[in-house]
Structure 1
């Protein structure tokens, strides 16, 4: 029953992401082993959408370590746990709660020893800036605890880089770069503190290749130059080369086409979906303080209120006119939305 629930939710979320993003590209997904214990380690820019993309765009079912604050509501906690999400506690959640991580990490180790897949965001928090931040030691603790329990465990550490064009905006595109796995066994020899530093350093280097990495000391200056040059943020290798070359070797993002048509379709989409749009624009968006959560809440509106509105619209038109007209109206609304996003 749980597998059916997970499959249904995954399918629905995948459909929602298809309508939300203009393009979703997953590069080198084959780097994720199928029959080995795997720890997926992505950078973290776009709040919950990062996790949803991993859950729907990779073949392996996964367990996700999620910030404990999301579990405060009992109903939300039940739903999250049913979706294989586990709470991880941080100092900001209170010193007394941090000790709860012992049982959480033990559970994760047990899952990995059963050849399962676990996802943890090694930066420890999200930030919309195009910078790979210093990695926390939480993921290294999980690695070393697991291989200490079973030295024969062939644990694979897979870095993943998220690359959005403009993550806070609607109709964005994303490229997910999956790197070659590091072998946990390679860090099992030697003093743990030394190996921890080595693992963090190696993983940070890998993530800095798989996504655009801008030195935080020169962030605003660099991002302004990149935006002026019009680089393609979906290709981090080219963008990083542009930065490292002093902005002399830079490829531009492909020019946008059909701009007027796209604007017209966007207006038509807003018109057909105006109740959810008004709720988003005037009730939800103004209350979002952190820009990193904007896309998450917009997507949540899209997969909840939009289908509800279309159902209400279908019932009303069916009652006033007939089911054929109602069906045509709903199909037209979906087609307009799809074209507005994809063009």
Structure 2
């Protein structure tokens, strides 16, 4: 039953993401080892949406180390744990809770020994800034606990760069960029402190190539120049070259002239889904305290309230008029969604 639940949820989330994103591109998926223990190390910009993209596009049923605060409500906690999300406590969660991480890290090592895949966001928190932040030592602790407890484990680290064109907007495009595997072995235990720094440097170096990385010095000015040039942030290689050349190799990209048509279809979609839209605009969105959660909550509305509303309208049309009107309404919503998202 657990496997059926996971397959069903992944299929449903894939469908939801297809209708939510204009384009989801996956690069270098061939770098992911099959039937090997893998630790995915991902930059973190877009809250829970980052995890959903990795879960549906990495080809593995993965476990996720997730900040403990999102497990605060019992029902939410039960759902998240059923999706293989494991709570990790931070200092802000209280010093007394940090000891609970011991069992989570031990479980992670055991899972890796069983050739499972685990996803970690080593920056420790989410941030929309287009920069790779300093990595925490949490992932190295799991690495060393694994090779100490299970020295024969053939463990691979896969850095992953998540790239969004406009992370808070609808619709958006994204690139999931898988890096080169970093194999670790018990030899790292010879000089543990040095090995920790080397691992962090290797992972951070790859992440800076797999996603757009703007240094903190003159961050705002650099970002403004890139946005003026309308660069494609889902092409981090070109964007990073542009930055490195002091904008000498950059080319300004002209926007497509279909914005009016796209907005027209979006308006028609809102008219057809006016109740979920009003709940989003008047109830949910005003309560969002961290901008990084904007897309996460919008997507949640899209895969929960929208289908419920559509089913209710179809039932009404089917009973009051004819069943064909119910399916015409469904077809209308699907077509308008595709036109407002994919154009």
Whether the TM-score (by the shorter chain) exceeds 0.5 is: yes
Q: Name 1:181's counterpart in structure 2.
A: 181
Q: Name 2:151's counterpart in structure 1.
A: 151
Q: Deviations over 1:241-297 (max 9, x none)?
A: 000000101144463242221111111111111110111011111111111000000
SS at match of 1:217: coil
Q: Name 1:212's counterpart in structure 2.
A: 212
- Superposed displacement of residue 35, structure 1: 1.5
**Residue pair 1:187, 1:195 contacting (<8 A) in 2 also:** no
Going from structure 1 to structure 2, the CA distance change for 1:254 and 1:228 (only over 3 Å counts) comes to: closer
Cα separation, 1, equivalents of 2:150 and 2:186? 14
Q: Name 2:44's counterpart in structure 1.
A: 44
Q: Deviations over 1:86-123 (max 9, x none)?
A: 11110000001001100000000000001100001010
Q: Name 1:288's counterpart in structure 2.
A: 288
- Superposed displacement of residue 52, structure 1: 0.2
**Residue pair 2:148, 2:186 contacting (<8 A) in 1 also:** no
| Number of aligned positions between the proteins | 343
Q: Name 1:112's counterpart in structure 2.
A: 112
Cα separation, 1, equivalents of 2:319 and 2:16? 28
Is 1:160 the counterpart of 2:147? The answer is no
Going from structure 1 to structure 2, the CA distance change for 1:64 and 1:216 (only over 3 Å counts) comes to: same
Q: Name 1:338's counterpart in structure 2.
A: 338
- Superposed displacement of residue 150, structure 1: 2.0
Cα separation, 2, equivalents of 1:186 and 1:41? 20
- Superposed displacement of residue 217, structure 1: 2.3
Is 1:17 the counterpart of 2:22? The answer is no
Which sections of structure 2, spanning at least 5 residues, go unmatched?
none
Q: Name 1:126's counterpart in structure 2.
A: 126
Runs of 4+ in 1 over 6 A off after TM superposition: none
SS at match of 1:188: helix
Q: Name 1:86's counterpart in structure 2.
A: 86
Q: Name 1:327's counterpart in structure 2.
A: 327
Which sections of structure 1, spanning at least 5 residues, go unmatched?
none
- Superposed displacement of residue 186, structure 1: 8.0
Going from structure 1 to structure 2, the CA distance change for 1:259 and 1:187 (only over 3 Å counts) comes to: farther
Going from structure 1 to structure 2, the CA distance change for 1:46 and 1:266 (only over 3 Å counts) comes to: same
RMSD: 1.1
TM-score scaled by length of structure 1: 0.98
SS at match of 2:284: helix
